[in-house]
Amino acid sequence: MGSCIICGVDVDGGGRICDPHQEDVVFDFRGDSPDELVPSRFYRGVVDGYAEFGVFVDLAPGVTGLLHRSELDRRLDSLHWEPGDEVFVQVKGVRDNGNVDLAWSIRQADREFRGVLVQDGDDEFLPEEDGEEDDAEADESDANDDDIAAEGDDEPSETHDADEPGEGDETDESEAESADEEDEVVETTDADEAAETDEAAETDEATEDDLDDDRERVGIGTLADAVGDAVRIDGEVVSVRQTGGPTVFEVRDETGVVDVAAFVEPGVRAYPDVEVGDAVRIDGEVESHRGDVQVESEALVLLEGEEAEAVRRRLAEALTAEARPEGLQPLAGDETVAELADGLLDAAEAIRRAVLESRPIVVRHPATADGYVAGAAVERAVLPLIREEHAKSDAEYHYFTRRPLDDPVYGMDAATNDATRMLQDRDRHDEQLPLFLLVGTGSTVESADGIDLLSVYGVDAVVVDAEVADSETRDAVDTLVSPEIDGVDADLSTGALVASMASAVNDEVRDDLRHLPAVSYWAETPDRYVELARDAGYDAERVAELREAVALEAYYQSYQDKRELVADLLFEDGGNLAAHVSEQFREKLETEVQTATENVVTEAVDGVEFAVLDTDGYTHRYDFPPTPLLLDDLHRRNADGEAYATVGIGTDELFIRTTADVSVRAVAERAAELAPNADVATAGLREGKIEFLSGERDAVEDAVVAAVAEAF
């Protein structure tokens, strides 16, 4: 039985810290299994590397945990840790698959804890006790030496007087021999160090001679069945990251992707001449690392000439064969979607190609129910492909990101955020630049500046939008799919359009997507999608609950993707979660609608009835529901006849809802003529948003009402 190093009470099992003081000390972990970690304890670790979703921290060789960005007390991009830095984290828990979840520690130095302990498996001891066992062994060894010496003393020996000739000479000779032996030891040590240095240098200068001539190339996709085997792989480097230990090269061939670990010394870049895009040949041993397949490199050689060309040719052929879907089968047999098949197949091919090329995919969509449905449809289709392509268990977080937008416009704020992140990932982690998929946004000229910023870096952008698109944007992106562009008269939502595209990306999830189009419509859902949802087990009430629950969750923490929560709502929920959240949605919306209705000002202008709401004075601007959703509901409830308009006006922005097909851009242009000092401009076609100078608010309200009346 041990005693607590803080309070001195007895601790069962020989431990050195009692339960009340578990979080008062920091542990140096020396175990070899995540299962030995103790939840709630604080551990010393070393930063292994960054990902989009957090930081990997090595707690011991072969034991790594994830500090998710949601656990940080600051933004991930403001964290100044570098790979190899010593840090302190708390273990939240260990999952069944061995993944370790970490939490942030505000204490980042030994002195900030009340003590330090070493945990070696189930053993706990003070750092200064670490050498006691070795000392005991050394004492035993010394005792044995003394016994041997004592036995020697019992033997007869010849004695000499100090004055006898030859004594001094014999002593000098002995000392000289001893000195020679010491010199020899020093020389040997220096030679060994030199040999180690040469060996490290050779690691960076590997040639074909370092490869095993007897090995034949195997496909990366077969390595899961070859753990423990010596293998050779040929492929292309898709990323390089330096950890506190080895350098990890992510390599792909025509069958898959795998991490290759190459070690020179801790934190030192192995093979510094090897970069992303290089063709390489690797001899190594297949290992299982934290549940993932990994190759421990014995030799890594740059390929050139015909050999490099052969690798790239195999990759290109595989990409061409795998990336293009066989065809598009629109959900519910939607003929309008079928007319857009060519563009949707181009978009699906771009997504599949990015997965096969190990290129990150960033999906941007509005933080609305329709936008979330579209983004979730793509996510549902792509994540299984990423898991199939990559051996790493966390690959689906690393290679796929959804970033909702507060406004359905891809403006400079969003583009600057995206450019900053992708350049950091490129420079810090040697990642490829991502594919940007913009759904329900990016198709109008209001997004031109944001898309232009991305184009400066040559990144690929795909836009899929069921709403109005400007022909000027066609040349700004690689692929643009829109009914307006192709002259198709459609009653599509973006969620419906993207769900069909997602089924082409991955046909195996088609059944999962059948109810999504119906969820994406607030009103006048096409019968074909209502029936499709019913066939999938979602009646009208269930569809409404999903729509309302997603809309509520889309508003809160709008910049977060809420991946797991949204998946639970749309795909995994048995009814309780969506029903519970949708009840909150209705309560909050009803309260706001009642307040707004009591303060709506109505007027008739040129035969058009207007309902005008001061959104600054009579809405909670920073709570649910957002102004566009509130105005949508007001308009649906109160619009009567063919000439009705709802206008919500705030400090410097205005929203329009009409029963006629009125162009918001045309209204803004006409209002700008009627109120020339207000700097009136279209801010968002999709949400009917117009911006202006706050000092001209009254003039803008009159000008917009007049412009809308003219448009009817």
Give the tens place of pLDDT for each residue, 600-629.
999 999 999 999 999 999 998 788 999 999
- 517 token code pair: 């189009």
What was the pLDDT predicted at 186? 39
* pLDDT tens digits for range 86-97: 999 999 999 887
Q: Supply 492's token pair.
A: 């599509």
Cβ(497)–Cβ(373) under 8 Å? no
**Mean pLDDT, residues 143-168 taken together:** 43
DSSP per-residue codes, 18-78: -GGGGGGEEEEE--S-GGG--TT-EEEEEEEEEETTEEEEEEETTEEEEEEGGG-SS-GGG
Task: Indicate the range of 340-344, 346-350, 428-432 predicted with least confidence.
Answer: 428-432
Fold matches, 2-129 and 209-304? yes
pLDDT tens, residue by residue, 476-520: 888 999 987 777 767 899 999 999 999 999 999 999 999 999 999
Residue of 265 and 37 predicted with greater confidence: 37
Q: Which CATH number fits domain 327-535: 2.60.120.10, 3.60.20.30, 3.40.120.10, 3.90.1640.30?
A: 3.90.1640.30
pLDDT of residue 205: 55
The yes-or-no verdict on residue 211 having pLDDT over 90 is no
**pLDDT band at 264; cut points 50, 70, 90:** confident
pLDDT at position 102: 94
Q: For residue 200, is pLDDT > 70? A: no
For residue 683, the one-letter residue type is A
Question: Of 126, 127, 249, 270, nearest to 202 (Cα)?
Answer: 270
pLDDT at position 288 over 70: yes
The answer to whether 494 and 465 are in contact (CB under 8 A) is: yes
Query: What amino acid occupies position 125?
Result: F
- Read off the pLDDT band of 153 (50, 70, 90): very low
In this structure, whether the domain defined by 209-304 belongs to CATH 2.40.50.140 is answered with: yes
Read off the pLDDT of each residue in 440-456 and give the average, rounded to a whole number.
93
Q: What's residue 349's pLDDT?
A: 93
Give one word for 188, left, alpha or beta, with left for phi > 0 and alpha for psi -120 to 50: alpha
**Contact indicator for 284, 230 with CB cutoff of 8 Å:** yes
Predicted TM-score (pTM) of this structure? 0.65
pLDDT at 429 > cutoff 80: no
- Residue 475 DSSP class: G
> 632-645 burial, b if ≥16 CB within 10 A, otherwise e?
bbbbeebbeeebbb
Task: Please tell me the CATH code under which domain 2-129 is placed.
Answer: 2.40.50.140
Pick the CATH number of 599-711 from 3.10.310, 2.70.98, 1.20.120, 3.40.720: 3.10.310
pLDDT at 390: 81
Span 18-22, mean pLDDT? Answer: 86
User: What gap in Å lies between CA 247 and CA 236, rounded to an integer?
Assistant: 16
Q: Of residues 414 and 20, which shows the higher confidence score?
A: 414
Please report the pLDDT score of residue 194 as a whole number.
44
Q: What is the pLDDT of residue 69?
A: 84
Number of Cβ within 10 Å of residue 387's Cβ equals 14
Percent of the chain with pLDDT over 90: 58
What's the first-to-final CA gap in the chain, in angstroms? 87
> Quick one: pLDDT at residue 195?
44
Q: How many residues does the chain have?
A: 712
Using 50, 70 and 90 to split pLDDT, how confident is the model at 447?
very high
Q: Strands of 95-223 (E only): list them.
A: 100-104, 115-120, 123-125
Measure the CA–CA gap between 76 and 56, rounded to whole angstroms. 12
* Whole-number pLDDT of residue 206: 59
**Residues forming a β-bridge with 284:** 231, 297
Helix 540-555, helix 527-535: angle, nearest 10: 100
β-strand pairing of 63-68 with 54-60: antiparallel
Higher-confidence position of 342 and 198: 342
pLDDT band, very low/low/confident/very high, at 641 (cuts 50, 70, 90): confident
pLDDT at 378 over 50: yes
Nearest-CA neighbor of 465 among 402, 378, 382, 371?
Answer: 371
Q: Counting Cβ atoms within 10 Å, is residue 625 exposed (0-12), middle (13-18) or buried (19+)?
A: buried
Give residue 475's pLDDT band: very low, low, confident or very high (50, 70, 90). Answer: confident
Considering the chain, what is the average pLDDT of its residues?
85
- Dump pLDDT digits (tens) for 34-66: 999 999 999 999 998 888 788 999 999 889 999
pLDDT for position 207: 64
pLDDT of residue 61: 86
DSSP per residue over 273-303, as a string? Answer: T--TT-EEEEEEEEEEETTEEEEEEEEEEE-
Residue ranges covered by each domain of the chain: 2-129, 173-199, 209-304, 327-535, 599-711
State the average pLDDT over residues 250-275.
Answer: 89
pLDDT band, very low/low/confident/very high, at 209 (cuts 50, 70, 90):
low
pLDDT tens profile 95-135? 887 889 999 888 888 888 888 999 988 888 888 877 554 44
